[in-house]
Structure 1
Amino acid sequence: MRRTFPALLFATVLALGVLPAPATASHNADQHKRMELLFTSPNSAINSDLAFWGDHAFIGYYRNDRAVGGFRIFDISDPAGPRLLKDFSCDGLQNDPIVWDRNGNGIADLLLLAVDRTMAAPECGAPRTAEHGDPTGWEGVRVFEMSDDPADPFAEINQVEAVYTDCGAHTITLWPGELDETNKLLVYVSSYPLRAGPTCGDTEYLNTANPYDEDPGSPASPLHGVIQVVEVPLDDPSAANELPVQPAISYPGDPDGINDWCERSLTGPGQPCPGPFEPAAVACHDIVVHVDTRQGAAACAEQGQVWNIDDNGIPDTANPTLIADDEVSSGGTGNIPGAIDFFHSAMFNNDATVVNWVDESFGSGCPPMTSWAARPWHPAGVHKTGKMFFSDLATGAFLSEFQVGDLRPDPAPTAYCSAHMGMAVMGIQRDLLVNAWYTGGVDVIDFSKPTRLKEIAYYDIAGPGPQGSDNWSAYPYTGPLFQGGPGIPVYASDGVHAPDSARGMVVFRTIIEKAGKGGIVDHLNPQTMD
């Protein structure tokens, strides 16, 4: 979530993403260790998530303040010098991508985009509606077919379907586990009613006249309370559709059973609450899947949960195998110390014995601090937030926590270095996590010994607030390796707070010693460990 309204502590939606205004620089030079900045691609946009297949990287982008959005495709056969192949205009927030190669020739020819903003129509080129809750508007998942001619890849890109989903699609997770039997991909859609939508939220959920709603007779819950599942047949992506099953989300053991935006003083001290937001949510923001063990770890705003994934590819959300909660919002029963503003994302280690939880802060600073309003189960207080936590998957026991601002604090009053999006380095003999920290830059954390975390590499670009590092996502992708010299490519997106000075897709050379054998992958979709 991004904060751009002065009267509301700059609160609005980006990534749930809470992002404060530009900060005064406290660092006069880039801070880095075992990471080298090699490439940037400025594009005056908020650059969101990335996906990779073969020699190509796909990065979504958009702006909040104007109708700008789409995705870019880069040739990364030489990671030190990517080439822009295509800049495809298709407005919509957030434009997080998923890609797939249907023909097995190493070139992705299927792309999905998550759209979390009410549009006047599903097609690319449709304008944004004046109101998020426009009763005839569309939001959800767009489906594209792309040419995969090795001589001229992506020469044609055609939108073939658009699947409407309640509350839009804030993030999407690919589940390929049943592909051999069904020749269909499943996509888990995470979203929540921060704002109203055509069939989302406290005021709009009774609407049954939306032309894009596949089940108009069943009004959605004002709290949302589900994830949605989209099925994409590989032999006919134009037949993509939402499955009728909607796995239900709940918060077992939580004192009020909801994520109450005002509990975290989201709109700022002294400001009306909930302000422009819906009162509360029961919903997930991100879901990571570990395909080999058929498990999903879900960051569901109020709690983190681990689920088994059934033989049909549907997560068993009714029976979590692990529930992670913080001490403050749980009233003292939680297994994670301190306060968590928003369970934003999750990640497994390679063996699926440890799970990482990311808290996206609603506060400000580096490290961020959040003012919590009093509730019957906890007093008002100010808490350090924006940290990541590691839990034992078998027992749920808390193992450790990390906040980049504890190592490299920024005293500027509006600095902001909350944890956000990252990925484990797959297929190696150590457990390494690459992560983006907004104005705190990008780092690599060794959690092979999860009670003894070690930050082994980082890069924080100098500059006044987001004129320096401004990173949304950071991922290790070892499809193409560097043509000269050692190192693992790490790709990041930049431009969240200050899109006019966005660096776009950023590439770092990252030196990781003693990583062991393996680690070469030929594709990477965020949140899918396959």
Structure 2
Amino acid sequence: MLLAASTVLVAPSASAQIPGQDEIAKSPNMQLLANVPKQGAMAGLNNFGSDWAFQGKYAYGGNYAGFTVYDISKPAKPKVVSVVSCPGPQNDVAVAGNLLFLSTDQSMSNDGCQAVPAPTSQQSAWEGIKIFDISDPASPRYVKAIETKCGSHTHTLVPGKKGTTYVYVSSFFPAANFPDCQPPHDLISIIKVPMRNPAAAALIAEPVLFPDGGNPGDPPDTPDVDFTFATSGCHDLTAYPDKKIMAGACMGDGVLFDISNPERPRTITGVRDDVNFSFWHSATFNNRANKIVFTDELGGGGGATCNPAIGPEKGANAIYDIVGHGDKRRLVFRSYYKIPRENAPTENCVAHNGSLIPVKGKDIMVQAWYQGGISVFDFTNSSRPREIGWFERGPLDTTRLILGGTWSAYYYNGHIYSNDIQKGMDVLRINDRRTAMAAFVRMPELNAQTQPDYFDRH
């Protein structure tokens, strides 16, 4: 997500097919089991719910004001275990062992949880990764922070050898007057974490992924809302450690990387779509790792782009097959996928975060679309993806656009968990024969940006 504050627009009347304000609409096979509103310091219009991480019976929900720990041992009756106030957008989360990692992508006065926003041009301002000890989920303990160039918009965990974990930090938007975020910014930051001694975590590498500068994008004064962003870093990286590969959604480029040496990721191949893709936002492999679903966050997530005027190919997913082997692998475009429903002009709607629903022999994914809701779609035939389930609420307001909707929708151990920007946690179940077998696949942990092999676990 690109925006840092609510967007307000005056809007014409909505289509008769669009649900009324806060009204729920869904396919018959989708069931809302529970909603837990944002709690305490996490509440408030500009304290957006962000990403998810899961471990055992706990879900960790990011929020621009910190994170919340939920007990999901009874998914229909989730309980709040703790609320940790630690402002620092976006506060995307990931967990490994007894540690939680938190992304800060805003210049702050210091690296603590009582910090306040500071000018990005200020040399002493801080942004990067914070580490917490979550051995007691009821009382997470702050351990350490590591500053990274241009902060940490998102991050990805890659397991290492001998009890280490690597944190790949994605960041972008450098500027000449930002002392710690200078152009060109064609790199990611790699932090090495000794899991038994997280206080010794350190920045070890800043590999340049785009030595040629990446996609130059459209001229800055391009008037179109869907202009192509120049590549100046990556927005999101999705690792598939068992396959030793990673997919990068890097602003103007979609990239496939080799991570056989996790300290030295290496580019295999990349693609661009300067016609329909504005901002390469995130990526998801299928379980066999022969396909990638890339998302385009047209308008930075703050615009109403799910309508006939924008059309079905912008602000959508692009599905690519991975063909060839080794360093000769390449990405071949197959199709676009966008939700088939029109949304109101007061609803921000565009492709956003999702994960696989593990059904052996099929490629099925659940995905967030902000106020477009949640979509479950089958892309087994990568040239003909089709929706098989959906859930959404009507607009938060019928006269102005208030940023809202589901930020991340992930499948974990039989249920779909949605982190709604304004409404908090939603727990859903899909009751469908096509996804029924997924309920038998149990995972001890899930960070969506570190994909597991669901059917060949070691």
TM-score (norm 2): 0.85
Which position in structure 1 is the counterpart of 2:197? 236
Q: 1:20 to 1:353 in 2, by over 3 A?
A: farther
Q: How far did residue 123 of structure 1 move?
A: 1.1
Match for residue 144 of structure 2 among 144, 157, 161: 161
Distance 1:173 1:303 in 2: 18
What is the 5 A alignment of 1:64-75? 69-75=65-71
What is the 5 A alignment of 1:63-142? 69-101=65-97, 109-129=98-118, 131-142=119-130
Q: How far did residue 385 of structure 1 move?
A: 1.8
Which position in structure 2 is the counterpart of 1:321? 268
Distance 1:342 1:468 in 2: 19
Q: 1:384 to 1:450 in 2, by over 3 A?
A: closer
Q: How far did residue 60 of structure 1 move?
A: 0.9
Q: 1:507 to 1:222 in 2, by over 3 A?
A: same
| Partner-residue secondary structure (3-state), 1:292 | helix
Deviations 1:442-464 (A, max 9, x none): 01111112112121111011244
Contact 1:306/1:322 (8 A) holds in 2: yes
Which position in structure 1 is the counterpart of 2:178? 204
Q: 1:135 to 1:468 in 2, by over 3 A?
A: closer
The structure 1 segments of at least 4 consecutive aligned residues displaced by more than 6 Å after TM superposition are: 466-469
Q: How far did residue 158 of structure 1 move?
A: 1.8
Match for residue 349 of structure 2 among 417, 429, 443: 417
Percent identity between matched residues is 31
Match for residue 255 of structure 2 among 305, 314, 330: 305
Q: How far did residue 310 of structure 1 move?
A: 2.6
Which position in structure 1 is the counterpart of 2:417? 491
- Confirm or deny that 1:440 pairs with 2:372: yes
Distance 2:206 2:283 in 1: 23
What is the 5 A alignment of 1:207-218? none
Distance 2:402 2:451 in 1: 33
Deviations 1:460-492 (A, max 9, x none): 1124457897111100001xxxxxxxxx31001
Q: 1:468 to 1:263 in 2, by over 3 A?
A: closer
Q: 1:264 to 1:431 in 2, by over 3 A?
A: farther
Q: How far did residue 223 of structure 1 move?
A: 3.1
Distance 1:92 1:468 in 2: 18
Distance 1:242 1:264 in 2: 39
Distance 2:206 2:412 in 1: 33
Q: 1:460 to 1:261 in 2, by over 3 A?
A: farther
| Partner-residue secondary structure (3-state), 1:189 | strand
Distance 1:355 1:166 in 2: 28
Alignment gaps of 5+ in structure 1: 3-11, 63-68, 102-108, 148-152, 194-199, 208-219, 269-278, 330-337, 371-381, 479-487, 496-501
Q: 1:136 to 1:154 in 2, by over 3 A?
A: same
Which position in structure 2 is the counterpart of 1:482? none
Distance 1:368 1:112 in 2: 40
Distance 2:59 2:264 in 1: 28
Match for residue 188 of structure 1 among 156, 160, 168: 168
The CA RMSD over aligned residues, in Å, is 2.7
Which position in structure 1 is the counterpart of 2:319? 390
What is the 5 A alignment of 1:200-349? 200-205=174-179, 221-250=182-211, 254=215, 257-258=216-217, 262-263=221-222, 265=224, 281-316=231-266, 320-326=267-273, 329=274, 338-349=275-286
Mean CA deviation greater in 434-443 or 447-456: 447-456
Which position in structure 2 is the counterpart of 1:408? 341
| Partner-residue secondary structure (3-state), 1:40 | strand
Letter in 2 for 1:321: I
Which position in structure 1 is the counterpart of 2:134? 146
Which position in structure 1 is the counterpart of 2:306? 366
Deviations 1:89-126 (A, max 9, x none): 1111111111112xxxxxxx211100001111101112
Contact 2:128/2:151 (8 A) holds in 1: yes
Deviations 1:363-398 (A, max 9, x none): 53323867xxxxxxxxxxx99521001011114221
Distance 1:303 1:420 in 2: 17
Q: 1:437 to 1:175 in 2, by over 3 A?
A: same
Q: How far did residue 252 of structure 1 move?
A: 7.7
| Partner-residue secondary structure (3-state), 1:81 | coil
Match for residue 27 of structure 1 among 19, 22, 44: 19
Contact 2:207/2:265 (8 A) holds in 1: no
Q: 1:408 to 1:514 in 2, by over 3 A?
A: closer
Letter in 2 for 1:508: L
Q: 1:235 to 1:173 in 2, by over 3 A?
A: same
Distance 2:126 2:168 in 1: 18
Distance 1:116 1:167 in 2: 7
Letter in 1 for 2:416: V
Which position in structure 2 is the counterpart of 1:472? 407
Alignment gaps of 5+ in structure 2: 324-329, 453-458
Letter in 2 for 1:349: N
Which position in structure 1 is the counterpart of 2:327? none
Distance 1:122 1:286 in 2: 23
Q: 1:263 to 1:303 in 2, by over 3 A?
A: farther
Contact 1:322/1:393 (8 A) holds in 2: no
Contact 1:347/1:357 (8 A) holds in 2: yes
Distance 1:510 1:435 in 2: 13
- Confirm or deny that 1:524 pairs with 2:450: no
Which position in structure 1 is the counterpart of 2:334? 399
Which position in structure 1 is the counterpart of 2:456? none
Contact 2:158/2:262 (8 A) holds in 1: no
